[in-house]
């Protein structure tokens, strides 16, 4: 077994142990390999953070783990369409520094997914992939932004 597989199996065991001890984080509903035979392809489901315009939504993500993980970050994208300044609406691509230049082998798939959940509540309109959503925040239109997010969450994440 190679080092990448050992690392991913350890992360999976830690996830299972935490779920069994009820230490699972409320936002992260599921994180698991798509197939037992392929540890490089994972899926995740997260709930929209309570008190946010994403509340009530369930957001699905795909995770592609590179063959040199954890030296390189995983590629994580939303499958569920999400309206957010740092997520490309059409593709689900996520603009988050830890998925690019700020990656460290100390990050796990779980901690990376939790950082994405935090990003939902704390958008960075200065580095947008969704310019329309970012412009609402830049103009100070919090109500308009939250209304737009709630509408898209109802349409795409509450099915």
Looking at 83, 95, 113, 139, which residue is catalytic?
95
Judge whether 95 counts as a catalytic residue: yes
Structure tokens at 24: 């699972």
Model pLDDT, residue 22: 61
Q: Which domain holds residue 68?
A: 3-157
pLDDT tens digits, one per residue of 3-17: 999 999 999 999 888
pLDDT tens readout for residues 45-94: 999 999 999 999 999 999 999 999 999 999 999 999 999 999 999 999 99
Chain position carrying tokens 């609406």: 89
Mean pLDDT of 35-39: 90
- State whether residue 45 is helix, strand or coil: strand
Write out the two tokens for 52. Answer: 């946010």
Tokens of 68: 């040199």
Give me the number of domains the chain comprises: 1
State the pLDDT confidence band at 159, using cuts at 50, 70 and 90: confident
Strand (E) positions, 4-155? 28-35, 38-47, 58-64, 75-78
**CA 145 to CA 84: how far, in whole Å?**
9
CATH of the domain at 18: 3.10.110.10
CB count, 10 Å around CB of 109? 25
Contacts made by residues 29-38, CB under 8 angstroms, sequence distance 24+: 29/58, 31/109, 31/110, 31/113, 33/8
Edge-to-edge strand ranges of the sheet holding 38-47: 28-35, 38-47, 58-64, 75-78
Say if residue 21's pLDDT is above 70.
no
Is pTM beyond 0.75? Reply is yes
């Amino acid at each position: 077994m190679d080092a990448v597989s050992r690392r991913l199996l350890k992360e999976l065991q830690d996830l299972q142990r935490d779920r069994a001890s009820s230490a699972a984080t409320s936002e992260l509903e599921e994180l698991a390999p798509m197939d037992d035979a392929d540890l490089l392809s994972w899926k995740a489901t997260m709930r929209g953070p309570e008190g946010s315009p994403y509340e009530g939504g369930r957001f699905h993500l795909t995770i592609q783990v590179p063959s040199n993980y954890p030296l390189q970050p995983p590629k994580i994208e939303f499958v569920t369409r999400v309206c957010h300044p740092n997520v490309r609406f059409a593709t689900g691509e996520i603009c988050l520094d830890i998925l690019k230049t700020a990656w460290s082998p100390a990050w796990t798939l779980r901690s990376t997914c939790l950082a994405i959940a935090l990003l939902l509540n704390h958008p960075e309109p200065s580095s947008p992939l969704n310019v329309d959503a970012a412009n609402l925040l830049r103009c100070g239109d919090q109500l308009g932004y939250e209304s737009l997010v709630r509408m898209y969450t109802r349409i795409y994440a509450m099915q």
